[in-house]
Structure 1
């Protein structure tokens, strides 16, 4: 049975102009991002960052993608997943959750979110 590492980045905060409405492009919105990345663990002890996924790089890639406006959170989640897979070929599974903390919905109190999961082994 194979062993795996799951690397998680939680509660990443961004302020960005994502959304369908013009007001979102102008004013922006607060977002929270949660990432879960799974990779197979090598048979020997991990002693080098090259043997695993560098979470500092994961953050930088996510931040860079997040800075460019998208209409849909679904698009953003899929692009983040694709970019991370391209940067980390060892990546086997990923889950990207994007939470819009203050969606512009009349009389709505709460947040909305999109969660995208991809298994690269199938």
Structure 2
């Protein structure tokens, strides 16, 4: 039997200074991040944090990277995914979605975002 465990962080709300438009690096904006990581557990029953992915550490990876201003959401997504894969040797796949909740687009209500999926 092959099993896959997934650890998720959903609707992480952060404020950041990302964007291509003039002034976004000064004014900033609100972002929502969703992370889905996958790994193959060694045992069916997981009893220790060392046997899984610590979601508090995942959250720190996201927070730290979101603090550094970046022009493109695509860059943020690929770099966060790469950092997660580097930090957790058991991770087999990462899916990350980043949404700019209030983009500076005239006559637009809604959010814009990117989703990036990568397998080890």
User: Aligned partners of 2:92 and 2:76: how far apart in 1?
Assistant: 19
User: Aligned partners of 1:55 and 1:66: how far apart in 2?
Assistant: 16
Report the TM-score, using the length of structure 2 for normalisation.
0.97
Equivalent in the alignment of 1:89: 89
User: Aligned partners of 1:27 and 1:116: how far apart in 2?
Assistant: 26
Equivalent in the alignment of 1:47: 47
User: Aligned partners of 1:86 and 1:113: how far apart in 2?
Assistant: 24
User: Aligned partners of 1:51 and 1:26: how far apart in 2?
Assistant: 42
Equivalent in the alignment of 1:15: 15
User: Aligned partners of 1:2 and 1:66: how far apart in 2?
Assistant: 35
- The structure 1 segments of at least 4 consecutive aligned residues displaced by more than 3 Å after TM superposition are none
SS in 2 for 1:84: helix
Note the aligned Cα RMSD (angstroms).
0.8
Q: Equivalent residues in 2 for 1:1-122 (5 A)?
A: 1-120=1-120
- Cα drift, residue 43 of structure 1: 2.6
SS in 1 for 2:23: helix
Between 36-45 and 101-110, the greater mean CA deviation after superposition: 36-45
Runs of 5+ unmatched residues, structure 1: none
Aligned residues: 120
User: Aligned partners of 2:46 and 2:108: how far apart in 1?
Assistant: 47
User: Aligned partners of 1:114 and 1:69: how far apart in 2?
Assistant: 17
Are the equivalent residues in 2 in contact too, given 1:58–1:84 (CA < 8 A)? yes
User: Aligned partners of 1:17 and 1:82: how far apart in 2?
Assistant: 21
